[in-house]
Structure 1
């Protein structure tokens, strides 16, 4: 597995990768909100590679917590591809690959999380600039999640805004009792090329179900 060492130097994109200005995330925020992001954050979310090219981030899981219900939810979600973390290991490597997909106009995200006693967990999803909020994440088996992005305390947040089942061009909203509750992903710049990724799943009735935090840097070519 690729090393998860976090060096002090700034990482750079592979020399052969062609970069273009990407305004897809910026278009979902006001100019005022976008301007409140640290320079390093908007650079990451303004980087668009050519079709099929990837940007790779290498990190380490620093925290992972489940409630009893949250743990069983994560295991049950395996029937739709396992989009939630399932292990409790910390201090293990995690790799995220973001690949441009010209066919959908979006991005394919692949997350590989090492486990101490088993094979790594691999999570696939696709971010598409479509749907009721202009951004959705498709996790497979027809299930997708609408997302709203915002800037909070200089961090970029992605919050669930409804779950649905995609049947052809038809998007059918799922009732609340079939969903895990509110999902929030936070991207917070830490300076010197590092950032923290945080995942929180909170149910309106059962409270905090899942919390995961990892620190990443862009992989050095």
Structure 2
């Protein structure tokens, strides 16, 4: 993937790390809400928050099993299929990695809400990685299309200190795609899809959010 230099005349407090991953013309074609949302400079104690609901979560049998197994590394996937439930997302700067910390709080019909933590770092072959716990993570590509930013897994890896291993395809859940779709008036849809090449769709989640 080709990385792009910052736009000339950018404001000093504008975070251009996401837009460097997308061609200039494609970024400029995104709705202003999306560009602003992914250009916030979260310095110091600043946090960006988004509230809304998870409209539905669907898990296949294999997807449910995968989600339970992932409890060992911090439960990064929804643990159960469910209907509408309140949700909130908080994003802050990760000072150690010069990336971002993402915390998602999802209500559940029974029991405590599920809290999902991950960290995004602007590094690696694709320019963006998401670390989900236990040393596991995925390299992501980013594209802008139809008023949306779309994040797609390029490969998965495991890292311990300076040791980093790229996981072979048979050890991974398949392709992960996260879509941030503009809806207007400060609202957006969040869609998560995990699809295995042989087992088909494992996880399918749809949420609606608004700027905090």
- Equivalent residue of 1:84, what SS? coil
Alignment of 1:104-123 (within 5 A): 104-123=97-116
Indicate which of 67, 70, 87 corresponds to 1:74: 67
Distance in 2 of aligned mates of 1:64 and 1:163: 23
Indicate which of 85, 88, 102 corresponds to 1:92: 85
Higher relative contact order (CA 8 A, sep 6+): 1
Indicate which of 84, 101, 115 corresponds to 2:94: 101
Structure 1 regions of 5+ residues with no counterpart? 1-18
Superposed CA RMSD: 1.2
- Equivalent residue of 2:206, what SS? strand
Deviations 1:6-27 (A, max 9, x none): xxxxxxxxxxxxx920000000
> Which residue number corresponds to residue 157 of structure 1?
150
Matched, 1:48 2:41: yes
Matched, 1:130 2:109: no
Q: Report the Cα offset of residue 180 of structure 1.
A: 0.6
Q: Which moved more, 1:84-93 or 1:177-186?
A: 84-93
Distance in 1 of aligned mates of 2:29 and 2:57: 29
Q: Report the Cα offset of residue 77 of structure 1.
A: 0.9
Q: Which moved more, 1:51-60 or 1:141-150?
A: 51-60
Distance in 2 of aligned mates of 1:97 and 1:60: 14
> Which residue number corresponds to residue 146 of structure 1?
139
Distance in 1 of aligned mates of 2:96 and 2:44: 9
Indicate which of 159, 167, 171 corresponds to 1:174: 167
Equivalent pairs counted in the alignment come to 201
Q: Report the Cα offset of residue 168 of structure 1.
A: 1.4
> Which residue number corresponds to residue 11 of structure 1?
none
Q: Report the Cα offset of residue 153 of structure 1.
A: 1.8
Give the TM-score taking structure 2 as reference length.
0.91
8 Å contact from structure 1 (residues 97, 109) kept in 2: yes
Structure 2 regions of 5+ residues with no counterpart? 1-11
Distance in 1 of aligned mates of 2:134 and 2:202: 23
8 Å contact from structure 2 (residues 58, 82) kept in 1: no
Distance in 1 of aligned mates of 2:29 and 2:62: 36
> Which residue number corresponds to residue 58 of structure 1?
51
Give the TM-score taking structure 1 as reference length.
0.88
Deviations 1:133-166 (A, max 9, x none): 1100001111111000001222100000100011
